Structure 1
């Protein structure tokens, strides 16, 4: 599981939601939060492979209709020295109105500019309640180069309740491909408050490489 993308790329956006969130999950979301708004997205994750808990926090600032900047951190609750801090930006080129696909560039880095990524994310509404998402990009982490691909589907049962699933992969010429799938649920508890739960795993080793996550997203203004 790549640390950079754990914060940067999340839920394939549920098209019904009044809130545009980037959590949970590992798919890519192309939507931008409203201009002149601030949004906090936080969660707790249990990772079976690492046998420990982390918390992730993403603070989003909407600058214009097409551009947002973000601050982010992943806190290792067992070893604070393993915690990471970074910043990122999203710029939307195509809004994806009237069932047309959207297109957004997501750039992410730690503060040392050692680990970074560039992702092109796209969402497309297929029907009133059914949507899809896809992402492709480049990731630099721990001196290794990776290419990232993801594809996701989401469905809304009501104006408040929706589910999603996505498949993602990291590819490196010197390492075996790393694949993952996740599934989750979001609930819009209030117009500015969304709750989520999700589970994900490496399909080649489900019993040892899985995570469980729950979180909350709140728009301040």
Structure 2
């Protein structure tokens, strides 16, 4: 177990290898580390990589499971002024502490997604962005390969409450992992900037299948701006009376500049 946790944290250190100079277009905005996707979008022709790891301890039906995602990589690109495209892929491992269950590991399905801007914030009317995503099983390892393509659609919303605080929330629906039913999704995240570099958040979210018991979760965490284009994050969370005992996530996000000759650091 210690060796596997060391590998988990080592995978985070490897992700520090992405560096480039910066252009002053404001601080980076990310969709990680929590479950709430941001309503903000990538600037036109800008590329951003968001990556990290997740460790979860799950329990149910007489067994304990260690679920480790070594690399949750998302590549985001501003294709048009009002259209963002994304591609994501991850490598994961599930270890079961039960003699009748076999551990598994491999790559997840390939996810391709878009964000389309709907409206900017107008008073109490939130900023809104439409997110849609397809999950293609052909790219997954045998242990994680589904028979059908998954789909998810969310409306991403955000209200800036003050210069330091904001409320972000998602409403959506998905059909993933060969499920015979659709599931509804909600997320609600409150964010507060302590300083220009340090931000904190608290979140609740849920997955609500049509014919099964809903699963509700909460988490807290923070982000740290190393520079305008480079952000580190950390999260801790657990479930409300469900299989998840706890989860820990940490990661890095980097936005590549179109013009490396113009650099700007957060001060």
The two structures have a TM-score, normalised by structure 2, of 0.72
Return the alpha-carbon distance in structure 2 between the equivalents of residues 146 and 74 of structure 1.
22
What is the SS of the residue equivalent to 1:48?
Answer: strand
Runs of 4 or more, structure 1, over 3 Å off, are 77-82, 97-100
Indicate yes or no: 2:184 matched with 1:122. Answer: no
CA distance in 2, matches of 1:48, 1:82: 19
Q: Counterpart of 2:56?
A: 47
Alignment of 1:50-61 (within 5 A): 50-54=65-69, 55-61=71-77
Greater helix proportion: 2
Provide the alpha-carbon RMSD of the alignment: 1.9
Q: How many residues align?
A: 204
Preserved contact between residue 99 and residue 126 of structure 1 (Cα < 8 Å): no
1:111 Cα deviation (Å)? 2.1
Matched, 1:30 2:45: no
Deviates more, 1:170-179 or 1:186-195: 170-179
* Aligned counterparts of 2:189 and 2:161: Cα–Cα separation in 1: 12
Does residue 1:204 correspond to 2:238, yes or no? no
| 1:1-221 alignment, distance < 5 Å | 18-49=27-58, 50-54=65-69, 55-77=71-93, 79-81=104-106, 83-96=108-121, 100-112=125-137, 114-141=149-176, 142-143=178-179, 144-205=181-242, 208-221=244-257
Structure 1 unaligned blocks of 5 or more? 1-16
Give the structure with the larger strand fraction.
1
Gaps of at least 5 residues in structure 2 are: 1-25, 59-64, 95-103, 138-147, 258-267
Cα distance, 1:28 vs structure 2: 2.8
